[in-house]
Structure 1
Amino acid sequence: MNHRFPRWLGVITMLLAIIGVLGGFIAAAIPAVITQGQQLVANAPDYLNRLKDHSSFVGQLNDRFHLIDKLQGAVNSPGSGSLDGILGAGRAVFGAVTNTVIVLVLTAYFLSDMPRIRALAYRMVPHTRRPRAILMGDDILAKVGGYVLGNLVISAIAGALTFGWLMIFSIPYAALLSIMVALLDLVPVVGSTIAGLIVAAAALTVSLPLCLCTIAFFVIYRFLEDYFLVPRIIGRAVEVPALATVVAVLIGGALLGIIGALVAIPVAAAVLLIIREVWIPRLDKA
């Protein structure tokens, strides 16, 4: 709307962009997954021989942690049959697709009807206090928008740094993995951790030292993201101090897990705004 798009056209443009990104990611991921799966099946005998080789590093890990026995136990356990596995994977895929469609539909409805929702919410406030409530409510909505934009910027940084790391060390599927890291980084607390494990598994196909270096890279990046990027970028966008940003994410994650960490910073921005505009003036007049 800032670029003079009608609201309906802006909503459609945004949804098409999201669908295009997700569709492109899936289209790029499916051939890669099939190829990697075929390579895994082809290399399975070699991996098994390495596990049985007591002189190799992997064989020593097997001797210590009994990896083959645990793998055979998982395969032979009840409910681990191929049919159950296929049904479980099908349910997971169907659930993910359904949830994505629901989120997109709800997003479209909320964005399309936001002016009416906003007007109805403000009419619930007494008329004498309505102008101040409108100012505070619009400020809170602007901070939420800044939080979403800051989150996207941090995810883009994560994807770009991952792409550079993968290209430097010739780890396969650099573009695909970097896009996956950027998407998973949108999920607070666990997103970047899961992405790091997947990228480390891809690096393991090259060499074990590179896998360990990749794990160290993601540990360092996670530390910098949590304690430098998030306070600097998101905290500045929502006008929340860096210390309050870190504390809010820690408290939100401890109380409500992923959802708590996701909404912690916007809630902290709203609370600070209410304290600054309502509570402190009342204390000054008391």
Structure 2
Amino acid sequence: MTSVGVGLALLAFFIVTNVGELLVWIGAALFIALGLDPVVRRLELSHVPRPAGIAVVVSILVGVVALFFALLIPTIVTQTSQVLARAPGYAEDFLNSEFFVTLDDQFQVRDRVTAEIDRFLANSDAVGGIFGGVLGVGTVILGSLFGTLVVLVLTLYFLASLPGMKRWAYRLAPRSRRPRVEALAEEITRSVGLYVIGQACVALLNGTFAFVLMSVVDVPFSVLLGFVVALLAFIPLVGGTIAAVLVSLIALTVGWETALLFAVPYIAYLQIEAYFISPRIMHRAVAVPGAVAVIAVIAGGSLLGVLGALIAIPTAAAVMLLLKEVFIARQDDL
């Protein structure tokens, strides 16, 4: 039995390591399906049959994705290629900028920074590892398109079969505990769905504000950077900070005034988002203490990358709900 157990564990490890990308797609599709389920339920309450509601919601989602690929992807590909082609020039402009000259006068760091930049740009593997190379941009986009198609198809199946999947899972619980398990599971899935919708709204607002601000202050590659900012905004707590640093560094290639004109309003917006926008959007979704949220995001990012960081907070909320409703309630009964 020990040998069989070890063999099964090795088989599971082999499967996970070789279909890791597929597992990420499945996780993303399930996450999106849980986010769309509250909308479908709301349509059901309006006397719209569930199949029709699923068709409407998925059609809107497909339309948004198709519009995104049709309008933004060509611009993003072009601007990404321009970034790769102009990277050495940007480095030289930064070294000759007034900001860096002032910094070098105080700390004498020019020789060291120049050596590190030259060594990095000379390493084709390093540059290609970040961007995939100019020729690799199209390949990455095609791979993303295929992955998006797979995720959309899986999302459709998960959304259509979600009630049946729940009923099957509830049957695994003892009959005496089944109503309690069903109530907890429904609360968890509702919270996760509302969290996904809320985080999407926050990311959309964040990316739109950053794009408008970059267009006003003339930060280069505003479309590409706006898309990156919106993606980073999906990562709780740290996504906005990473976006602020990234865009500010690119704005420094234009001048320290441009970087300052972007950084100050964007950081101010992040404070407004943290204290006013996110709480109002998320007040019905999840309630996780700040320390737990930070630990969850770091652990999720370490285990599953971006997807792990995205699902970290709703997972932490689900664990906290189970602890509160099961273990703490049981101790109170005792």
Does TM, normalized by the shorter one, top 0.5?
yes
2:285 equivalent to 1:238 = yes
Identify the residue that residue 64 of structure 1 maps to in structure 2.
Answer: 110
Identify the residue that residue 11 of structure 1 maps to in structure 2.
Answer: 54
2:293 equivalent to 1:249 = yes
Identify the residue that residue 133 of structure 1 maps to in structure 2.
Answer: 181
2:151 equivalent to 1:103 = yes
Residue by residue over 1:251-276, the C-alpha shift from the partner in whole angstroms, topping out at 9 and shown as x without a partner, is: 11232324443223322332333334
CA distance in 2, matches of 1:42, 1:175: 17
Secondary structure of 1:124 counterpart = coil
Please point out which of 202, 217, 230 is paired with 1:182: 230
Residue 149 of structure 1: CA displacement?
1.7
Asked if structure 2 preserves the Cα contact closer than 8 Å seen for 1:25 and 1:176, the reply is no
Asked if structure 1 preserves the Cα contact closer than 8 Å seen for 2:75 and 2:224, the reply is no
Larger deviation: 274-283 or 150-159?
A: 274-283
Larger deviation: 272-281 or 135-144?
A: 272-281
The higher relative CO (CA closer than 8 Å, separation ≥ 6) is in: 2
Residues 269, 67 of structure 1: alpha-carbon distance in 2 compared, 3 angstrom cutoff? closer
Residues 76, 38 of structure 1: alpha-carbon distance in 2 compared, 3 angstrom cutoff? closer
CA distance in 2, matches of 1:78, 1:38: 17
Identify the residue that residue 67 of structure 2 maps to in structure 1.
Answer: 24
CA distance in 1, matches of 2:243, 2:83: 21
Asked if structure 1 preserves the Cα contact closer than 8 Å seen for 2:194 and 2:285, the reply is yes
CA distance in 2, matches of 1:198, 1:90: 23
Secondary structure of 1:125 counterpart = coil
Identify the residue that residue 244 of structure 2 maps to in structure 1.
Answer: 196
Residues 181, 8 of structure 1: alpha-carbon distance in 2 compared, 3 angstrom cutoff? farther
Asked if structure 1 preserves the Cα contact closer than 8 Å seen for 2:198 and 2:281, the reply is yes
CA distance in 2, matches of 1:39, 1:268: 38
Please point out which of 156, 159, 162 is paired with 2:207: 159
Aligned-residue sequence identity (percent) comes to 32
Secondary structure of 1:284 counterpart = helix
Asked if structure 2 preserves the Cα contact closer than 8 Å seen for 1:231 and 1:246, the reply is no
2:177 equivalent to 1:121 = no
Residue 181 of structure 1: CA displacement?
2.7
CA distance in 1, matches of 2:318, 2:213: 38
Residue 92 of structure 1: CA displacement?
3.3
Identify the residue that residue 12 of structure 2 maps to in structure 1.
Answer: none
Asked if structure 1 preserves the Cα contact closer than 8 Å seen for 2:195 and 2:285, the reply is yes
Please point out which of 253, 256, 280 is paired with 1:208: 256
- Provide the alpha-carbon RMSD of the alignment: 4.0
CA distance in 2, matches of 1:174, 1:94: 22
Residues 231, 120 of structure 1: alpha-carbon distance in 2 compared, 3 angstrom cutoff? same
Residue 9 of structure 1: CA displacement?
3.6
Q: TM-score, normalised by structure 2?
A: 0.65
2:49 counterpart letter in structure 1: P
Residue 227 of structure 1: CA displacement?
6.4
Residues 43, 239 of structure 1: alpha-carbon distance in 2 compared, 3 angstrom cutoff? closer
What are the ranges of 5 or more consecutive residues in structure 1 without an aligned counterpart?
A: none
Aligned residues: 279
Residue 131 of structure 1: CA displacement?
1.5
1:185 counterpart letter in structure 2: A
Larger deviation: 101-110 or 89-98?
A: 89-98
Residue by residue over 1:19-48, the C-alpha shift from the partner in whole angstroms, topping out at 9 and shown as x without a partner, is: 433343342342365368669969987x69
Residue by residue over 1:227-268, the C-alpha shift from the partner in whole angstroms, topping out at 9 and shown as x without a partner, is: 66545542x22352xxx3322221112323244432233223
CA distance in 2, matches of 1:68, 1:153: 41
1:254 counterpart letter in structure 2: I
Secondary structure of 1:142 counterpart = helix
